[in-house]
Amino acid sequence: MTSALLTGFTTGLLYGLMGFGIVTLFKTTGVANFAAGSIATLGATVALKVSEGSGVPVLVAAGIGVAATVGVGATAYWVVMRFRDDVDHLSLTVRTVGLFLLAQALLEKWLGPGQPFSFPRLLPDLSTSVAGVHISSGTVWFPLVSVVCLAGFVSFFAFTRAGLLMRGLASDARTAALLGVNTRLLSCIAWAMTAGLAAVVGVLAAPSRLVSSEMMNSWLLYVFAGVVIGGLTSLGGAIVGGVTVGVVQGAAYQLASDEVALLAVFALFLVTLQLRPQGLFGQPLIERL
């Protein structure tokens, strides 16, 4: 059971990282990005193709995959989201579903037959056993990578002009626009940064999940469950919610089966919505009539 909980914790950290990106984008643009899973898969796919095609070290290929996905995120904003962005947020959110379907079709075509494909080991193997408990390599590496990524985001928001403006945009987009803030440029930066974060998650997950066009689709369900449980307006809540989902999933899988794990996660999801609709750490949205 201890090993299952550790595995659930490390998997939950990846859920939380992707959820952190989704919440960041939602707070700055008001859009829930349903294409985050496909964007993560794209990062892993680019890394795999570069590694196989050029023979560069896998870490370099992973960096290229993340960088390419940052560019894709920025392009997606200007081509898909920027066009007629004066519509309501529901319409913009539906566009992310269309972006998901487009990315899914392109990935299916690019990867071709023979899926899924194995992904080379990304980081050194540090797996070991302590007091009879198996500690996987991911239990060591995933928290470290998560801390580095989160520290980077926190530093960006706290110490850069763009980060401070983005916090203002998240607090009150209308006032920020009236004060002359370039909201479209900040939205583009948010799309690029969160796409890069999703790609990091995709690359980290690829060695264990294998690379296919549908690699991260099922993960997105768990990620959104964690986001809702933690609170769609809380960045810290996204991490806590993701870890909670991962631990519940791991424990239920160990005690019963994969089907029971899915039921347990979404039972927790529904109970949270019933008792605290804004999530554990989210704030209720107050609208002026």
Residues 83-134 have pLDDT tens digits of 776 778 788 899 999 999 999 999 999 999 988 999 998 888 777 776 667 7
Give the tokens for residue 193: 């940064």
Burial 3-16 (b: 16+ CB within 10 A, else e): bbbbbbbbbbbbbb
| pLDDT surpassing 80 at residue 2 | no
Angle at which helices 258-275 and 235-255 cross, to 10°: 140
Nearest by Cα to 203 from 95, 43, 68: 43
Which residues pair with residue 135 across a beta bridge?
A: 128
Q: How far, in Å, CA of 249 to CA of 255, rounded?
A: 10
Q: How far, in Å, CA of 179 to CA of 174, rounded?
A: 9
26 and 32 Cβ atoms separated by less than 8 Å: yes
- How far does the chain reach from its first CA to its final CA, in angstroms? 51
Quote the distance between the C-alpha of residue 142 and its chain's center: 14
pLDDT at 286: 60
The model's pLDDT over 131-150, given as tens digits with 9 standing for 90+, comes to 667 777 777 888 999 999 99
DSSP H stretches of helix in 55-182: 58-76, 89-111, 137-159, 161-171, 173-178
What mean pLDDT comes out for the span 10-26?
A: 94
Amino acid at 101: L
Q: If you search the block for the tokens 């809702």, which residue do you land on?
A: 228
Amino acid at 144: L
254 and 165 Cβ atoms separated by less than 8 Å: no
The H or E element containing residue 15 is helix 2-29
Q: How far, in Å, CA of 59 to CA of 62, rounded?
A: 5
- DSSP secondary-structure letter at 133? E
The model's pLDDT over 246-272, given as tens digits with 9 standing for 90+, comes to 999 999 988 888 889 889 999 999 999
**pLDDT bucket at 6, cuts 50 / 70 / 90:** confident
Amino acid at 272: T
Task: Give residue 31's region: left, alpha or beta (phi > 0; psi -120 to 50).
Answer: beta
pLDDT at 73: 96
The model's pLDDT over 25-70, given as tens digits with 9 standing for 90+, comes to 998 888 999 999 999 999 999 999 999 888 789 999 999 999 999 9
pLDDT at 289: 46
Quote the distance between the C-alpha of residue 234 and its chain's center: 14
Nearest by Cα to 14 from 176, 246, 207, 236: 246
